[in-house]
Every structure is written in structure tokens, then in C-alpha cells.
């Protein structure tokens, strides 16, 4: 094999360690070290000499190991064997990272376990090239940014898992809100990872989260969003209105059933009385559909704690209510309540027809007719004089 005249770095920017392909060197060979590089002579697995930026002619005067370890004669073209390693000191800022497998985390606010994935990038540089070469390289001839990422993958993911988990649990951050804390998490992870990198002569320049996300089609994520939406609704409208909304769902389901009760609910909801029915549902659930004796037989319903203006109504032999007068007004045009329908409220001795209750009877007074009265016949002509 021919002897080498020039030794220089011939790798690319993504390679942080590069080994010169030949070990057959000679006195007088020039070693070229570019800016941002450090070159090392290695013999028998030991780093013997280190060279910074510049051009060096290999001679016994400036390569001490040639005389101290090899005892070679001075001058001429005497050949010798040695490894030359170059370490790239440039900063790599765009190294991507990501969680190959999702992290299983429980949302602290809604109690749902969901798979979380995180992605980002980090930047690093070799701060102590000798330490890096001694602790990382081994027998590899090239060590790229991708290999550094793979090498430290466990450190990266351990820090990500730990810091995201702590943010979720200790700071009570919902996974649906975690994206708002990416900067804070980035700083925490950078501090953790920097400690591990320093042990290998590396410096962590930056560390960023691009995203922390959950697959949108994951069943647990869908359930988590549904729970959050219900919680938000409850928080905005209040617990009582939320329960009212749930009651309305029950009423609408019942409205699809056959029979007078379903018809009643359909008619009432259609005419705007659904909200009133829902408001009464919780308090009156136990007596919504009791059997009513025929009119005139048996006592009226027990005294109600509802306001005086609330009426119980008999429809198709079933007792409903109590309802406020406003609801009864809506039931009349819908055809649900007629003048002969029986009603009762606190203070009345017995059931009465609607038309006999003074404050309700006026609802059935026929509206004035819009038809104009007939015009009188034309005035007859005056008799002839």
C-alpha cells in the first residue's frame, strides 16, 4: 500500500468522529486540521497526541510518540503505522428525536389513561473531544449525529417520560392542555440530559418539544375529550342546569314511546314546555305517573310544596305535573289541554274542569272574530217629485 502524503478530514458535517482510512503513514506527511476540528494520533488503543487547527508536518520533533514509543530513526521517508481520528467540534442544532412507542399516562383531571407521543429536536456539540473519543467510539470508524441520537436514546426518552409525567401528576396538568407547557418541559429536559451528556464530553446546546400528542382516533382519547366537554358544560351552566339537560335527554327518549305519556311529552317539547317538564322531573320523578281514580272518587292529591300557581293535570286518566300556568297556556294551542280537562292545585277542594277555574277559564274565551259585519243595503232612490 502506498504511503500517505496528506492526512485530512474527508467526512461530512453530520459526522462527529471520522477515522482516516489508512494507517500507513510516513515522516514528512502533512496533517491538515480544519477550523472546528481536533485530530488525534492513536496507537494500540491509546490516544497519544492531539492536534488543533492548522497544518502540521509529521516529524519526530512534533510527534513525540514516534520517538518515545516506536524508537524509529529520524528523518527520511521512514514509514510507520498509526491511526488518525478527527473529531468535529461544530454544533449540530437540528437533530430530531421522538418516542417510538407511546407513553401511557393517566390524565390527572379526568382519570383516563391515554397513549402519549412526543417529538422534537435538540442541538449539541463535542465540548471535550478527548473524553468523547475515549468513552464513546470503541471500534467504530465513523460516529454520526444519528448514531449519537441512537446512543443516547435511552437518556432522552427517560428524561422525556420523567418530566412529562411529573408535569402531569405533580402540577395537575391535563394531557389535553400539555401543549401549553412545552417551553417549560423543554427546559427541564435539557437540564436533565445535559448532565448525562457531560459524562461523555458532549454539551447539550438546546432541547425542544415540537409536539406532545395523542392519536385522535384512539378510543381513550375520544373518551377523554367527551369527559372534558361535559365537565366544561357543567362548569359553565352550573350543576342544576346540567342535570336539567340530562333530564331532557330522558324526556326525549320517553317521548319516543307509545302511549299517552309519550304523546304528552312530544306535544309539550314541541310547544316549548320541555324545559318546564325537565325542571319538574327530579322533584316529581316518584309521582310522575301515579294512577288517578275516576273524577269524583277518592281524595285529591296530597298537598304539594310547589307554589300556589302550579297545577296538577289529568290527561287520559293519568296525573301529570304540577305545572305553572305558563305551561298550561302552551298546552292549550297544542291540543293537549281542553276546557274540560281536570286540574287541581293546593287550596282547591277537589279536581275541577279548567273552564271552572277562574284564573284559567279566560284562556278559553273565543278570540274576537276578524270578520266585518255585513254592510247595509244601498239607499233607495228618492221618489219622483
**Residue 158, pLDDT score:** 86
**Residue 288, pLDDT score:** 39
Q: Which domains does the chain have, with CATH numbers?
A: 6-88 (no CATH), 92-215 (3.30.479.30), 238-364 (no CATH)
Of 31, 25, 37, nearest in space to 132 by CA:
37
**Residue 364, pLDDT score:** 76
Beta bridge partners of 353: 342
Rounded Cα distance, 160 and 146, in Å: 18
Instruction: Tally helices (H) and strands (E) across the chain.
Output: 11, 18
The pLDDT tens digits of the residues spanning 136-166 come to 766 567 778 888 888 888 888 888 888 888 8
Of 323, 299, 300, 302, nearest in space to 313 by CA:
323
Angle (CA) 147-153-156 rounded to 5° is 130
**Residue 59, pLDDT score:** 74
Low-confidence ranges of the chain (pLDDT < 50): 1, 69-71, 74-76, 237, 240-244, 246-248, 250-294, 296-298, 303-304, 306-307
**Residue 233, pLDDT score:** 67
Rounded Cα distance, 74 and 78, in Å: 8
- To the nearest 10°, the Cα dihedral for 187, 191, 194, 196? -130
The pLDDT tens digits of the residues spanning 260-300 come to 444 444 444 444 444 444 444 444 444 434 444 445 444 55
Amino acid at each position: 500500500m502506498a504511503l500517505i502524503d496528506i492526512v485530512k478530514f474527508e467526512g461530512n458535517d453530520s459526522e462527529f468522529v471520522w477515522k482516516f482510512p489508512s494507517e500507513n503513514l510516513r515522516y514528512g506527511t502533512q496533517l491538515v486540521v480544519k477550523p472546528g476540528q481536533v485530530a488525534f494520533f492513536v496507537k494500540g488503543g491509546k490516544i497519544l497526541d492531539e492536534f488543533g487547527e492548522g497544518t502540521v508536518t509529521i516529524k519526530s520533533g512534533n510527534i513525540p510518540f514516534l520517538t518515545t514509543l516506536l524508537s524509529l530513526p529520524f528523518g527520511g521517508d521512514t514509514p510507520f503505522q498509526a491511526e488518525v481520528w478527527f473529531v468535529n467540534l461544530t454544533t449540530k442544532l437540528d437533530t430530531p428525536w421522538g418516542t417510538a412507542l407511546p407513553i401511557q399516562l393517566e390524565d390527572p383531571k379526568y382519570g383516563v389513561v391515554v397513549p402519549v407521543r412526543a417529538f422534537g429536536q435538540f442541538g449539541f456539540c463535542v465540548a471535550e473531544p478527548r473524553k468523547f473519543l475515549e468513552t464513546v467510539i470503541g471500534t467504530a470508524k465513523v460516529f454520526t449525529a444519528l448514531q449519537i441520537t441512537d446512543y443516547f436514546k435511552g437518556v432522552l426518552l427517560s428524561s422525556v417520560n420523567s418530566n412529562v409525567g411529573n408535569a402531569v401528576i405533580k402540577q395537575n396538568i391535563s394531557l389535553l392542555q400539555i401543549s401549553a407547557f412545552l417551553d417549560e418541559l423543554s427546559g427541564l429536559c435539557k437540564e436533565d440530559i445535559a448532565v448525562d451528556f457531560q459524562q461523555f464530553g458532549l454539551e447539550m446546546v438546546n432541547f425542544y418539544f415540537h409536539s406532545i400528542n395523542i392519536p385522535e382516533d384512539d378510543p381513550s382519547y375520544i373518551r377523554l375529550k367527551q369527559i372534558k366537554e361535559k365537565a366544561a358544560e357543567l362548569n359553565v351552566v352550573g350543576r342544576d342546569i346540567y342535570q336539567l339537560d340530562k333530564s331532557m335527554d330522558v324526556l326525549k327518549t320517553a317521548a319516543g314511546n307509545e302511549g299517552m305519556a309519550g304523546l304528552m311529552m312530544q306535544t309539550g317539547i314541541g310547544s316549548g314546555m320541555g324545559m318546564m317538564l325537565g325542571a319538574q322531573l327530579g322533584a316529581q320523578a316518584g309521582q310522575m305517573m301515579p294512577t288517578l281514580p275516576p273524577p269524583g272518587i277518592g281524595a285529591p292529591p296530597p298537598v304539594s310544596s310547589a307554589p300556589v300557581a302550579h297545577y296538577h293535570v289529568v290527561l287520559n286518566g293519568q296525573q301529570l305535573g304540577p305545572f305553572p300556568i305558563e305551561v298550561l297556556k302552551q298546552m292549550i294551542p297544542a291540543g293537549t289541554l281542553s276546557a274540560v280537562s281536570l286540574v287541581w292545585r293546593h287550596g282547591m277542594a277537589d279536581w275541577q274542569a279548567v273552564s271552572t277555574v277562574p284564573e284559567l277559564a279566560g284562556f278559553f274565551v273565543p278570540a274576537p272574530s276578524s270578520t266585518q259585519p255585513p254592510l247595509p243595503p244601498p239607499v233607495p232612490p228618492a221618489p219622483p217629485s
